[in-house]
Structure 1
Amino acid sequence: MTKEHILIIEDDADIREGIRILLESENYTVSEAENGRNGLETLSSDTDLVILDVMMPGMSGIQVCKEIRRFSNVPVLFLTAKVQEDDKLTGLMAGGDDYLTKPFSYGELLGRVKALIRRYRIYLGKNTTDAIENQDYIETGRIKINQKYNELFLDEKETDLSDIEYRMLLLMMENPGKIFSAQNLYESVWNEPYFYSCNSTVMVHIRKLRVKIETDPQNPKYITTVWGKGYKFDARCD
C-alpha cells in the first residue's frame, strides 16, 4: 500500500523536526518547508495532508492556505499559537479543515492527522471497498451529486468542494427535510466527539457550502436554518 504523504510548512525547525520524527515513526512519508513560498513549491499532487503554521514571517499560513485552495482540495491542518475564536474562524474561512493550538500533545496531533487523511482518501475513492451499486447520482433542482466519483454539478457544470463540504452536502441530500443539529453534523461528518466549540466549525462550513451552491447565499433555498434546532436540506426547490 502506498504510504500517505504529509507536507509540514513551519518556520520553527525544532517543531518541524519533532513532527517529522513522529509521523515517520507512524510510516508516513514527510516533506518539509520552512516558509510559505517553499511550501507551495513543495506541494505536489500526491500530498495527502498539509500541516501549516499560521504565524510565519513573510507569507502567513492564512495566505498559503488561500493559495492552496486555488488548485487543490488537500486537507489543511493549521497549527496556531492563537486561541481566539475569531482567529480559528479566519483559518476555516480561508479553506482550512482543522486546527491545533500550540502547545499540543503528539497524541492529539496524530489523532487529527489520521482523521483528516482517512476522510480525504475516502473522498478520493481510495482505500475503500464500499461500492455504490444502486444509484450513482442524487439530484435536486440545479444540484447533482455523482456519488461514485464524489463530484458536484451545478446546472450541469462541475463545481469543486472540499471533502468536508462534499460529505456534509451528501449527508443532507440523502436525508432531505431532516433537521440536523450542529452536533449531528459534526459527529456524522467529522467522525469525532462533539464539543460546544464545534458549533462555529459547522457554521463556517455551512456558510461556505451556501456560497458554492446557492444563487443567493444570504437567502438560501437549499440549505436552510431551522432556528433553535439546526439545518436541513430542502428538496422541494426548483
Structure 2
Amino acid sequence: MKEGKYNLLIADDEKEIRDILRLLLEGEGYELSIAENGREAIDLASDEIDLYILDVNMPELSGFMAGAEIRKRYEAPMIFLTAYSGESDKVMGFSVGADDYIVKPFSNMELLMRIKAVLRRSERGCAKGLAGKKSKLLFQDLALNLENQSVLRQDEVIPLTHTEFKILELLVTHKRKIYTLENIYQSIWEENAVGDSTIMVHIKNIRKKLGDDSRNPKYIKTAWGRGYYVEE
C-alpha cells in the first residue's frame, strides 16, 4: 500500500480493456501500474504492488507464465482475466499462484467485488499473522506458519498460494469437521459460493503439492457426497 492507497498492477494487451480498467479503478481510488504484456508486467512487479490483475491470453508471454515468474519473487495476491471458463484453465491459473479467476465478459461491479474480496482476505491474513496468539499449527508431519503463511515438512518448504494456505489452515484448525464446498467458499471468501469448481480445483492443487493421493489421501480426506476434512 502506497500513501494509504492500494497499488494494483494491470496487464492486458487490449488497449480498450486497459483504458476501461484505468477509468474504473482510478475512480475507486486505486493507484495503478499498467503493462501491455506479460514481460512488462514482470518488469513492473515490485514489493509495492498489492494486487496483480493479469490477462491470460497475451502475446509473447501469457498471463500464466508472467504470473508464475512474478510469484517466484512476490507474494501479493493475483487475479487472472480470461475468455475461457474451462476447468483446465482454472487448474493452470491456480497452480501458478492465482487467488481468483474472472471470466470475460464481466461486469464492473463483479470485478470491483472480486478485487475488494481478495484484498480483504490478504489484509486479514497479514493482520492475523502479526497479531496471532499462535504463530504455528502442527498437523501430522506438517508445520503451518501463520505469520508468513508457509508450510514446512521436515526441511522442505511446500509453496502454497494464499488461498490454498487458508483452506488448509481452515481444515487443520477444525479437525474431523466435514466442510462442504459451500462451507469452505463462505469461510474463505466470506460470500456465497459462485457455483463453480473453484474449491475442488484448490483441493486438487493442495493435494498435488503435498504429494497426496486422492484415492488414499494422507492429509485431506474426502467424505463422499459431503465434503472434505482432516483427521488428527
Q: CA deviation at 1:219?
A: 3.7
Q: State whether residues 178 and 226 of structure 2, in contact with CA within 8 Å, keep that contact through their aligned partners in structure 1.
A: yes
In the TM superposition, residue 213 of structure 1 has moved relative to its aligned partner by: 2.8
Q: Does 1:144 align with 2:143?
A: yes
- Listed one character per residue, the Cα deviations across residues 185-238 of structure 1 (whole Å, up to 9, x for unaligned) are 1111122211331xx211111122122334656642111111111111122xxx
Given that 1:6 and 1:29 are in contact with CA atoms closer than 8 Å, whether structure 2 keeps it comes out as yes
Shift of 1:10: 0.5
Q: CA deviation at 1:9?
A: 0.3
Q: State the 1:114 CA deviation.
A: 0.7
**What do residues 62-98 of structure 1 show as CA deviations (whole Å, max 9, x unaligned)?**
2222222333332221111223343333323333221
1:96 aligns with 98
> Is this contact kept in 2: 1:136–1:148, CA < 8 A?
yes
Question: Which of 203, 213, 222 is matched with 2:219 structurally?
Answer: 222
Deviation of residue 149 (structure 1)?
4.3
Distance 1:69 1:148, change over 3 A: closer
- Whether the 8 Å CA contact 1:221–1:234 is kept in 2: the answer is no
One-letter amino acid matched to 2:108: Y
Query: Counterpart of 2:142 in structure 1: which amino acid?
Result: I
Q: 1:34 to 1:124 in 2, by over 3 A?
A: same
- Tell me the equivalent position of 2:124: 122
The runs of at least 4 consecutive aligned structure 1 residues that moved more than 6 Å come to none
CA distance in 2 between partners of 1:193 and 1:101 (Å): 18
Q: Which moves more between the two structures, 61-70 or 106-115?
A: 61-70
The AA in structure 1 aligned to 2:208 is V
Q: What is the aligned partner in structure 2 of residue 108 from structure 1?
A: 110
Alignment map for 1:13-92 (pairs within 5 Å): 13-92=15-94
Give the whole-Å Cα distance in 2 for the aligned partners of 1:63 and 1:129.
29
> Who is 1:3 aligned against?
5
> What one-letter code is carried by the residue in structure 1 that aligns with 2:179?
F
Q: TM-score, normalised by structure 1?
A: 0.87
Gaps of 5+ in 1: none
Aligned partner of residue 21 in structure 1, secondary structure: helix
**SS state at 2:90 partner:** helix
Shift of 1:54: 1.2
Task: Give the structure 1 partner of residue 131 of structure 2.
Answer: 131
Q: 1:149 to 1:234 in 2, by over 3 A?
A: same
Counterpart pick for 1:203 among 200, 203, 212: 200
Tell me by how many angstroms 1:148 deviates: 4.2
State the aligned residue count.
230
> Kindly tell me: are residues 109 and 195 of structure 1, through their superposed partners in 2, closer, same or farther at Cα, counting changes over 3 Å?
closer
- Preserved contact between residue 144 and residue 156 of structure 1 (Cα < 8 Å): no
Q: Percent identity?
A: 39
